[in-house]
């Protein structure tokens, strides 16, 4: 089985995503994850001469890499600018440059205004200088895809002149994302056929949503290495997403790679946090919804003989399969979610719950697992309006130079309690007041694990605010939502929903235990 190199450029090309900037600590952390956890073969970590901060970040990465015997896996983009880029790279401690040359005649003439012969000589001079510094050279042919389309003779001239130089890899970028999968195959195959002894990398961009398809074609054509970014970060529409590329290689192509796919989801989440770019819910392999079955027929088939499973098993990527609830849900979907909550129901009750889920799904499209205890209670003749926990009154005070202060009246199963507290913010003070009451009652607290506030799509400055809060209670994850023009009010509504959710959840389980004891 032929081996294939994976070079990840999240820290260089990925950082060119609009609005993304990693600090040195984040860059070092991602570099460690990519090389040690994911085990990609190489990483491109920066562009030369960008800033002093970038220089210090590269120094930290190269120092760590040298200590861990992987310095040759650290690459920096450099430019043909005399000796300036190479001196910068050498001083940073890096020992591999990805030298940016012009892979199309249009770019050469339009940007550099030089002849092909002059450009070749500049490249040779840069390669010789790098060799004297002990720096290995890979060569990017910028805009290579357009070069193959409109000035192939120039591409062949460049390659003919440089094929015997001290260049480790020739890197073929679809810089503007113009290729389709037929062109990607033909152009990569032409390079492999003409220069069979050279190492070629392919670098895709996703402007037509064809990056992964073009990667697939390039591998079929015999390419030696592929460039990716975590979560598909990159300029414009981004680069080929690492997760998708690995899935395609492992399941559809006979190539050996070193990447540990089980770590992909963890790394994706960390890069999501550092970059501030949210992973789309339907993003293949790492999106929140991609291992969630919505159709009841699918859940039923999975229960009987895994009929709707494929090779992309969630466990491969550190994920687990879930079953969404909504108007297309069947009994099998609901049963699987109830089992996750530790709840079992009689057949007749299950039918009523299923009917209720479908009714709610018609109104709100998707019912979450958080709603199930409410629905079960509703079916068992406890209406959702009769919530056991009510916030009757509260007062929030915020004064300059003083900590926010909250006073609250909380009704729990018909009995009134009062709590007061301060906090680091209004919501923190509110939660401290709630927990003072819970401490008085000897109740276990849920743990807040994630907090997101956003204006709904299409909203204006006076629009409603959505608060999404994730809680962990007794090892189970609960997500609640509040909607209000005021951010704190929205968070309070989400919190009230959570308090009643765990109350209903515990009441259902307590009732089950009581019934089991009676039967025994």
Give the tokens for residue 6: 């994976």
Domain range for 454: 389-512
Within a domain: 283: no
Within a domain: 288: no
Q: At what angle do helices 152-162 and 116-133 cross, to 10 degrees?
A: 30
Does residue 250 share a domain with residue 105?
A: yes
Q: Look at residue 161 in the predicted model and tell me its pLDDT.
A: 98
Within a domain: 23: yes
Looking from the CA of 484 toward its CB, the CA atoms found within 13 Å total 14
User: Strand 405-412 relative to strand 415-422: parallel, antiparallel, unpaired?
Assistant: antiparallel
Does residue 470 share a domain with residue 498?
A: yes
Cβ(119)–Cβ(108) below 8 Å:
yes
Does residue 246 share a domain with residue 124?
A: yes
Q: Look at residue 298 in the predicted model and tell me its pLDDT.
A: 40
Question: What secondary structure letter does DSSP report for 229?
Answer: B
Which residue numbers in the chain have pLDDT < 50?
294-305, 307-308, 365, 381-385, 457-463, 513
- Tell me the CATH number at 405: 3.30.160.270
Residue 267, beta-bridge partner list: none
Q: Please choose, from the candidates 100, 35, 33, 46, the residue with its C-alpha nearest in 3D space to the C-alpha of residue 72.
A: 35
Q: Look at residue 300 in the predicted model and tell me its pLDDT.
A: 42
- Tell me the CATH number at 157: 3.20.20.70
Question: From residue 249, how far is each of 190, 217, 252 by CA, in Å?
Answer: 22, 11, 6
Q: Look at residue 286 in the predicted model and tell me its pLDDT.
A: 87
Tell me: the pLDDT tens digits for 442-489? 888 899 999 988 765 444 434 457 788 999 988 888 788 776 668 888
- Which region, left, alpha or beta, applies to residue 37 given φ > 0 means left and ψ of -120 to 50 means alpha? alpha
Within a domain: 456: yes
Does residue 247 share a domain with residue 301?
A: no
Q: Look at residue 204 in the predicted model and tell me its pLDDT.
A: 98
Does residue 47 share a domain with residue 140?
A: yes
Does residue 441 share a domain with residue 366?
A: no
Does residue 243 share a domain with residue 123?
A: yes
Does residue 404 share a domain with residue 371?
A: no
- Cα gap 294→275, rounded to integer Å: 30
Does residue 181 share a domain with residue 306?
A: no
- Cα gap 323→307, rounded to integer Å: 14
Does residue 81 share a domain with residue 17?
A: yes
- Rounded to two decimals, the pTM is 0.67
- Cα gap 237→443, rounded to integer Å: 49
Within a domain: 233: yes
Cβ(293)–Cβ(326) below 8 Å:
no
Of 275, 310, 338, the residue that ends a domain is: 275
Active site residues: 12, 142
Question: What secondary structure letter does DSSP report for 48?
Answer: T
Does residue 140 share a domain with residue 215?
A: yes
Does residue 199 share a domain with residue 164?
A: yes
Q: Look at residue 260 in the predicted model and tell me its pLDDT.
A: 94
| Total number of domains constituting the chain | 3
């Amino acid at each position: 089985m032929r081996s294939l190199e994976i070079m990840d450029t999240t820290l260089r090309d990925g950082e060119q995503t609009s609005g993304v900037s990693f600090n040195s600590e984040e860059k070092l952390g991602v570099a460690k994850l990519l090389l040690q956890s994911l085990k990609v073969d190489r990483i491109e970590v920066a562009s030369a001469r960008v800033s002093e901060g970038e220089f210090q970040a590269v120094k930290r990465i190269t120092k760590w890499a040298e200590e861990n015997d992987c310095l040759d896996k650290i690459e920096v983009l450099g430019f043909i600018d005399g000796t300036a880029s190479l001196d910068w790279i050498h001083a940073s401690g890096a020992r591999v440059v990805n030298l940016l040359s012009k892979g199309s005649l249009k770019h050469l003439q339009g940007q550099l205004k030089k002849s092909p012969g002059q450009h070749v000589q500049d490249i040779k001079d840069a390669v010789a200088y790098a060799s004297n510094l002990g720096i290995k050279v890979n060569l990017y042919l910028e805009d290579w895809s357009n070069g193959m389309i409109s000035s192939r003779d120039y591409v062949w001239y460049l390659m003919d002149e440089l094929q015997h130089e001290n260049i480790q890899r020739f890197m073929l970028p679809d810089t503007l994302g113009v290729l389709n999968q037929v062109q990607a195959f033909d152009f990569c195959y032409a390079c492999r056929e003409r220069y069979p002894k050279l190492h070629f990398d392919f670098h895709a961009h996703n402007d037509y949503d064809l990056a992964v398809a073009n990667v697939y074609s390039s591998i079929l054509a015999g390419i030696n290495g592929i460039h990716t970014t975590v979560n598909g970060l990159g300029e414009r529409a981004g680069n080929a997403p690492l997760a998708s590329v690995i899935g395609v290689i492992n399941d559809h192509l006979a190539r050996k790679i070193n990447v540990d796919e089980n770590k992909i989801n963890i790394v994706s989440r960390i890069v999501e946090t550092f970059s501030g770019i949210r992973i789309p819910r339907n993003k293949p392999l790492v999106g929140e919804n991609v291992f969630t079955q919505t159709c009841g027929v699918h859940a039923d088939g999975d229960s009987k003989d895994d009929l709707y499973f494929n090779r992309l098993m969630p466990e491969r990527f550190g994920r687990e399969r879930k079953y969404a609830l909504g108007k297309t849900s069947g009994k099998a979907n609901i049963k699987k979610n109830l089992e996750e909550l530790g709840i079992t129901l009689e057949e007749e009750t299950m039918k009523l719950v299923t009917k209720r889920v479908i009714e709610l799904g018609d109104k709100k499209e998707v019912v979450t697992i958080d709603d199930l205890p409410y629905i079960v209670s509703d079916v068992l003749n406890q209406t959702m309006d009769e919530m056991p926990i009510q916030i009757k009154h509260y007062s929030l005070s915020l004064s300059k130079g003083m900590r926010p202060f909250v006073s609250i009246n909380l009704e729990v199963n018909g009995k009134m309690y009062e709590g007061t507290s301060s906090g680091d913010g209004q919501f923190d003070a509110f939660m401290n007041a709630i927990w003072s009451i819970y401490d008085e009652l000897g109740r276990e607290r849920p743990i807040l694990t994630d907090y997101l506030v956003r204006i709904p799509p299409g909203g204006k400055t006076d629009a409603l605010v959505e608060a999404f809060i994730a809680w962990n209670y007794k090892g189970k994850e609960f997500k609640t939502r509040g909607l209000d023009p005021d951010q704190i009010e929205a968070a309070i509504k989400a919190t009230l929903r959570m308090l009643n959710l765990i109350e209903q959840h515990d009441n259902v389980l307590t009732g089950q235990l009581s019934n089991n004891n009676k039967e025994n």
